[in-house]
A and B are shown apart, each in its own frame.
Chain A
Amino acid sequence: MEDDAPVIYGLEFQARALTSQTAESDAIRFLVGTQSLKFDNQIHIIDFDDENNIISKSVLQHEAGEIWHISASPADKAVLTTCYNITSESRVVTSSAVWRMPPEWESGSHESPDDPHNSHNPQSLDLLCHLDNSAHGNASCVLWEPMGDGKRVISLADNHALLWDLTESSTQATISSSATLEGKGQLKFTSGKWSPHHNCTQLATANDTAIRGWDLRTMKQIYCIENAHGQLVRDLDFNPNKQYYLASCGDDCKVKFWDVRNISEPVKTLEEHSHWVWSVRYNHSHDQLVLTGSSDSRVILSNMVSISSEPFGHLVDDDDLSDGEDNHNDEKTKEPLQDSIISMYEEHEDSVYAIEWSSADPWLFASLSYDGRLVINRVPRALKYRILL
């Protein structure tokens, strides 16, 4: 049961933006956006060959500016959105746009990263449309409608949440509705998540220490968890299988799990990181697996069995593996497994700002640290088999 060693890929630039290619369900593919003020920024398309443990990359130019957030269309492999900084002499503005990858990227660029020639003449992304939000302030992230047809996105800009309809093959974006967060001081959305439940009519956003839920049909707030975290809330994620469950993380080094029907207390709190937690992700298929990345340079994979959709798990002890069929019936009677940390990944040496599960292989995930190091890890095999069998 030896686990495979992590695979590490280094980018030349600093990077914060990472996403898996949501529409791709066969190849393990991640997209990374770089941050550089002086050089042209790039989007690295990282392909991982699971069998041979080999990474191959292709690079696309993203000339518009440094990338703060990246998000791939759930319907069209080639379409993605970025939030990027445009810096002029005296101003820094963050805006967002929808891009299409040039059609050749897949055929011509499957070369190993060792090949130096490839990066010399990279291709550029084709701009489909701007999510023109100059009136609404700096964009912090763009969210695709989960499992949608790639026609609807939400962008969060300062204190506005804007719902866009993409029309004409995504070349036109029009605001169909918007919500504005109002209150004292300068309110600003830090991040958000489009709920895959309730027919995709709900959105959760984070601003400062609060988490808010919105109904997209009315664009009205439906719940608000004040002081969800002691400090800034950095990220959110919905449990893909339990519609009311939500994970959040923040600067108080905690990861909290909420049942939005009862927001007075978190269902569960994890305090394993020793610095701010920047990102939290549920596994798409096995929601007991929760991944967190933190600026203490660690990635932690936790097994939150007690609040997962499979609280009793498909767990069979190693001894019983041989007669698995017989045990199928007694599963319900088994004691629930304790919530536990599965492992702590320490391959990074700088703050980890982004983590993402692969959309193709549920047992595989990537993490990205500020120094441009992308690490691809797998769920330990022992656990994988325990969950599967």
Chain B
Amino acid sequence: MDGDVSNADTTPPDSDPARKRRVHGMLKLYYGLNEEGKTVDQAESLDPCDINGPHFDPEVYLNKLRRECSLGELMDQESCMVKQIRSLDSDMQTLVYENYNKFISATDTIRKMKNDFKKMEDEMDCLTTNMAAITVFSARISGTLQDQHAQITKLSGVHTLLRKLQFLFELPARLNKCLELQAYAQAVTSHRRARCVLQQYSHMPSFRGIQDDCHAIMDKLAQELRQKFRDGGSSAKDLSECVELLLQLDEPAEELCDKFLTHARSRLEADLLGLEAELRPVSRTDILEFIDRGCNEFVSSLCLVIASYQELFMAVGKLHAFVDSLAARYFSLVERRIQEEKSVGDNSLLVRALDRFHRRLQAVAKLLPGSAVPSQGTEIVVRAARERVKQYLAALQSFYLDSLTDVRQALAAPRLGGSSAGGGLPELLSSLSASILNQIKTVLASVHLFTAKDITFSNKPYFKGEFCSQGVRESLVVNFIKFVCQSSRQFCESAVDRGGSTPPALLLLLSRLCLDYETSTISYILTLTDEQFLVQHHSPVTAVTALCGEAREAAQKLLNHYVKVQGLIISQMLRKSVETRDWVNTIEPRNVRAVMKRVVEDTTSIDVQVGLLYEEGVRKAHSSDSSKRTFSVYSSSRQQSRYTPSYTPSAPMDTNLMSNIHKLFSERIDIFSPVEFNKVSVLTGIIKISLKTFLECVRLRTFGRYGLQQIQVDCHYLQMYLWRFVSDENLVHFLLDEIVGSTAHRCLDPAPMEQSVIEVICERG
């Protein structure tokens, strides 16, 4: 209510009812009336006819009732209202009574409290007086104790000082003891603690004495430390401890640093010497062991040195040069060792060794970020890999040559046994090409180790790119294929000059090998390589087609050479047979000369040999009875005007004319011309060479009658057998015609033999 009064001026008059309602609300709250009742109240509050509402207007209500209700209803209303009023009255009476009782008891309580407070006041007064007495006493005690406290403080100060002094006085002894026990670290710590004090009081003689003593001892200690440092027997850890202590003793850092490095160098060099000893062939260890030892001894010591140096001197100034020079020596040793790794059997050892080597160098990289050592190490690995690829190429090449030697022996062996020449050619070919392919695969697998995922250096850019494309693909695989082609070509060249030292069967076999390479093997090998090594074609690489072209060229050359060699062998027989005989004075032919039979035999065996490796090939269609038909070419030519044989004793003009006309219509024959990759073409080439030789030899001789007849017989015999080998039988006919024609020209008494007689002789032979 006090607040209400105080606020009366400031509160606007119309806010009063709101305040009242708030108070009313609080009461309501007290009596447990809920909020809902209030809202209902408020909702109905605007209705003046609501008898419970705050805006109830009796007048309006009455009028309303009177207007709306009948008399009966009014009566009911009235009685109901009276009833309600009565009950309200009784309720109110009960409330008033109850409140009265409560008021009475409250009054009693207040009276009782009044009595209790009076008692308490007395006790408080008593307390106050007691406290005052205590204060007085306390002040008196403080006053008495004041002097003694100051004295105690002073005493305790003196005590501390004395203890310090004692420490100082004991210091030399303690230092000596430490020195004795080699507890250098403790000595240095103690001395450091005392140093400043001693310095400060050095003007006092006693302290000076102590200081001098300490200095002497510390000098001795430093001496001893230096000695220990110099001795070099101690480990890197001891060493760094030494250096740390010396640093604390104010030794000049520069000098120490130099000394430290010198010392470290001597120990690392000892490691290197140990490694070098391993290089000697006597104490041969495998490369993995060697690298292991290098890593464990040298590289880890080096790392320790680097770490302690950085810790001690907080700088890397001289460290780079130091590390570089030592690493260079280490690298040279490692490289020497790697170079000695010549055997190509097991590549994994080398790769693992290189991997370890490379991995351990990474530690150096971490410790010494700017160092060139790791990159140099990577270079060594790259060089080793390159060298390895080269070695593999050499190994492949020598393997290839060895295989060729084997093939050569295999070719020679059955001949000794008497079986037909080149009996197992297809088997030899397939085993040769299979073994080469196998070898290539093995090598690829070995080289592949360099790029394995778990190898640390495999993700270096060199091993990802250049190694795959330039190293493996180009310098290994492509070079090997080129080598195969090249060495094959060399067979062609050398054999000519040395008179056919290469067996012809080998030429044939190699030719087929090269041809197979061209058709399938090269692309297979390259695809295999590309897949295995994921060759990314950044740099220009040799195209498959170029290699195939080279292989085909080699195959062609070999086959041409084969034709040449075989043709030469037969040519030589024919030439000898023509040159060594006296054709003027020969006897009437009774037989085909043995050499012709030999020619046919050899041609047949060549046919078999070539047939083993090459397909038949196309020949021009010939009549079913070739031998007979062609036979008539020069037997019945006198009747037929088709070709007048030149041995008819007619005017020389006539002969020339006829043969010239003949030549006009026949194509020029290239004797030593490239052949196709099939049997017929090869045989055609050989027969061409042989018959042309025959012709040229005949032209250099002079014949008697029987000489001519012998040639006739021989040519007919050749005709009978050779046509079947060639692509165009007309070629054989033409050349044989030329031979007989030229013989007739060179004949002193050209009387040809009867065709029927020739036939009989040939068939009998």
Whole-angstrom distance between the Cβ of A225 and the nearest chain B Cβ: 12
Of B36-44, B618-626, B651-659, which stretch is located at the interface? Answer: B651-659
Of B121-129, B502-510, B519-527, B669-677, which stretch is located at the interface? Answer: B669-677
User: Could you tell me the distance between the alpha carbons of A276 and B694 in the complex, rounded to whole angstroms?
Assistant: 12
**B653:A252 contact, CB within 8 angstroms:** no
**A36:B652 contact, CB within 8 angstroms:** yes
CB pairs A–B below 8 angstroms (24 shown): A12-B652, A12-B656, A13-B652, A37-B748, A38-B649, A85-B702, A87-B748, A227-B497, A227-B498, A230-B496, A230-B497, A230-B568, A253-B672, A274-B671, A275-B671, A276-B696, A295-B671, A295-B692, A296-B670, A349-B663, A349-B668, A351-B696, A370-B699, A372-B656
**B692:A275 contact, CB within 8 angstroms:** yes
Contacts A231-B568, A371-B656, A371-B659; is A92 near B702 (CB within 8 Å)?
Answer: yes
Contacts A231-B568, A297-B668; is A92 near B584 (CB within 8 Å)?
Answer: yes
Interface residue? B745 (CB, 8 A): yes
User: Could you tell me the distance between the alpha carbons of A230 and B502 in the complex, rounded to whole angstroms?
Assistant: 14
Whole-angstrom distance between the Cβ of B579 and the nearest chain A Cβ: 10
Interface residue? A346 (CB, 8 A): yes
Interface residue? A306 (CB, 8 A): no
- The residues in B between 690 and 707 inclusive whose CB is less than 8 angstroms from any CB of A are 692, 696, 699, 702
Residue from A12, A87, A275, A295 having most chain B Cβ neighbours under 10 A: A275
Q: Which residues of A contact B673 (CB under 8 A)?
A: 274
Contacts A92-B584, A92-B702, A275-B671; is A252 near B652 (CB within 8 Å)?
Answer: no
Interface residue? A39 (CB, 8 A): yes
Interface residue? A90 (CB, 8 A): yes
- CB-nearest residue of chain B relative to A36? B652
Interface residue? A184 (CB, 8 A): no
User: Could you tell me the distance between the alpha carbons of A37 and B707 in the complex, rounded to whole angstroms?
Assistant: 15
- The residues in A between 274 and 311 inclusive whose CB is less than 8 angstroms from any CB of B are 274-276, 295-297
- The residues in A between 319 and 354 inclusive whose CB is less than 8 angstroms from any CB of B are 346, 349-351
Interface of A is mostly: loop
- The residues in A between 205 and 254 inclusive whose CB is less than 8 angstroms from any CB of B are 227, 230-231, 252-253
- The residues in A between 50 and 109 inclusive whose CB is less than 8 angstroms from any CB of B are 85, 87, 90-92
**A274:B660 contact, CB within 8 angstroms:** no
Given A38-B652, A275-B670, A349-B664, 6 additional A-B pairs, CB 8 A? A87-B584, A274-B672, A276-B696, A295-B671, A346-B668, A351-B696
- CB-nearest residue of chain B relative to A275? B671
**B584:A371 contact, CB within 8 angstroms:** no
Q: Which residues of A contact B671 (CB under 8 A)?
A: 274-275, 295-296
Q: Which residues of A contact B649 (CB under 8 A)?
A: 38
**A37:B746 contact, CB within 8 angstroms:** yes
Contacts A12-B653, A274-B671, A346-B668; is A37 near B747 (CB within 8 Å)?
Answer: yes
User: Could you tell me the distance between the alpha carbons of A367 and B57 in the complex, rounded to whole angstroms?
Assistant: 159
Whole-angstrom distance between the Cβ of A95 and the nearest chain B Cβ: 14
Q: Which residues of B contact A231 (CB under 8 A)?
A: 568
Interface residue? A14 (CB, 8 A): yes
- CB-nearest residue of chain A relative to B670? A274
Whole-angstrom distance between the Cβ of A350 and the nearest chain B Cβ: 8
Q: Which residues of A contact B652 (CB under 8 A)?
A: 12-13, 36, 38-39
- The residues in B between 731 and 765 inclusive whose CB is less than 8 angstroms from any CB of A are 745-748
- The residues in B between 557 and 585 inclusive whose CB is less than 8 angstroms from any CB of A are 568, 584-585
User: Could you tell me the distance between the alpha carbons of A356 and B671 in the complex, rounded to whole angstroms?
Assistant: 24
Q: Which residues of B contact A227 (CB under 8 A)?
A: 497-499
Q: Which residues of A contact B660 (CB under 8 A)?
A: 349, 371
Q: Which residues of A contact B656 (CB under 8 A)?
A: 10, 12, 14, 371-372
**B670:A14 contact, CB within 8 angstroms:** no
Q: Which residues of A contact B568 (CB under 8 A)?
A: 230-231
Q: Which residues of B contact A92 (CB under 8 A)?
A: 584, 702
- CB-nearest residue of chain A relative to B662? A349
Q: Which residues of B contact A274 (CB under 8 A)?
A: 670-673
**B699:A37 contact, CB within 8 angstroms:** no
Whole-angstrom distance between the Cβ of A143 and the nearest chain B Cβ: 20
Q: Which residues of A contact B670 (CB under 8 A)?
A: 274-275, 296
User: Could you tell me the distance between the alpha carbons of A296 and B667 in the complex, rounded to whole angstroms?
Assistant: 12
Q: Mark B627-667, 1 if CB is under 8 A from A, else 0.
A: 00000000000000000000001001100100110011000
Contacting residue for B702 out of A10, A37, A253, A297, CB 8 A: A37
Contacts A37-B747, A346-B668, A351-B696; is A90 near B585 (CB within 8 Å)?
Answer: yes
Whole-angstrom distance between the Cβ of A214 and the nearest chain B Cβ: 24
Q: Which residues of B contact A275 (CB under 8 A)?
A: 670-672, 692
Whole-angstrom distance between the Cβ of B708 and the nearest chain A Cβ: 11
Q: Which residues of A contact B499 (CB under 8 A)?
A: 227, 230
